[in-house]
Amino acid sequence: MQVAYNPEEIATFVGAGRSSGSTTQKIGDIASLSTARAGDLSFLGNTKYRSQVPESNASAVLVPLDYDGQPKSDQVFIYVENPSVALAKVCARIEQTFWPKPAAGIHASAVVAKDAVVDATAHIGPLCVVEAGARIGAGTVLQASVFIGADAVIGDDCFLMAGCVVNSTCSLGARVRLQPGVVVGSDGFGYEFVQGRHEKIPQIGSVVIEADVEIGANSTLDRARFSRTVVGEGTKIDNLVQIAHNVEIGKHCILCSQVGISGSTKIEDYVILGGQVGVGGHITIGKGSKAGGQTGIAYDVPPKSYLNGTPAIPYMLERRLQILHQRLPDLFKRVEALEKK
């Protein structure tokens, strides 16, 4: 990294109440406790690594408020409520230096319809297309080759990276962040089998993404057959996630990579789905539920459930069955021996 902060600046970034020790080093990089060298910042984000702090060579360490050790010579401890969150604040500051917000304006190679409304503080990058009736909010950034369809609405302070597509009539709330290749408003996958042929069902609804949603690279959100596909406020979606037509996702959910959600399913608030979770159609997953990686869910799930396996069953039961499954060969040998006896 090409940065250089002194520990006092870092303490200010993270809102630290106090620090101890001193160092002559400038902080130019971030590293784990075990690999850090002079000039690095590290952090105690997990108590299992507490024993590594005294041996760490980091010049500055973010430690929890209750940490009772003392820094080494030429080392600073910065005391914070949550070291992991504090590190994220430092990274956010560094990110701003790596990717500064581009200047407002419309690049000469962009194609913007005459009746599109683009706020004067927005940035429209090279080769972007903004179709008729679309609206681009204040402070929003469209990187290169972003497509905004007719009558789409992009809220204030959004950040759409290269190659994103927001199709016609879809809308993004404030501070939505789309990684490269995200598609919002692709047709829902709907067909009827008529006289030996799969006939396409028109998909005439929209997609509504509420404020502070982040969506990872190459994820796709299908427009509704009618009405809306919805992603609630503050939800975070990883790369390569597929959300089908008329799905409703609640607020502050987490969807990890390669999750697939079938049509007309409702995901309530604060649900967490691990990688490659598959969710059937026309079901409801209750508020605060969790599903481990590769879980297959085909039925309604009560609130605060914890599931694993395919078909999905309660997590602890599935773990017990996995252990018993590994013991089956020995069990069969014992049964065979008893039969012979």
3-state secondary structure of 51: helix
Q: Of 317, 310, 314, 320, give the one whose Cα is nearest residue 301.
A: 314
| In contact, 173 and 187? CB cutoff 8 Å | no
Rounded CA-CA distance 193/236 in Å is: 36
| In contact, 29 and 1? CB cutoff 8 Å | yes
Dihedral-angle region of residue 319 (phi above 0 means left; psi in -120 to 50 means alpha; beta otherwise)? alpha
| In contact, 273 and 254? CB cutoff 8 Å | yes
H helices within 83-180, ranges in order?
83-98
Catalytic: which of 107, 245, 252, 325?
A: 245
Our answer to whether residue 325 is catalytic in this structure is: no
Rounded CA-CA distance 215/239 in Å is: 7
Rounded CA-CA distance 147/59 in Å is: 46
Q: Of 77, 55, 57, 56, give the one whose Cα is nearest residue 67.
A: 77
311 preceded by a cis bond (ω within 30 of 0): yes
Distances in Å between the Cα of 197 and the Cα atoms of 188, 191, 200, 204, 228 are 18, 9, 9, 21, 27
> What element of type H or E holds 62?
strand 60-64
Rounded CA-CA distance 297/228 in Å is: 23
Catalytic residues: 245
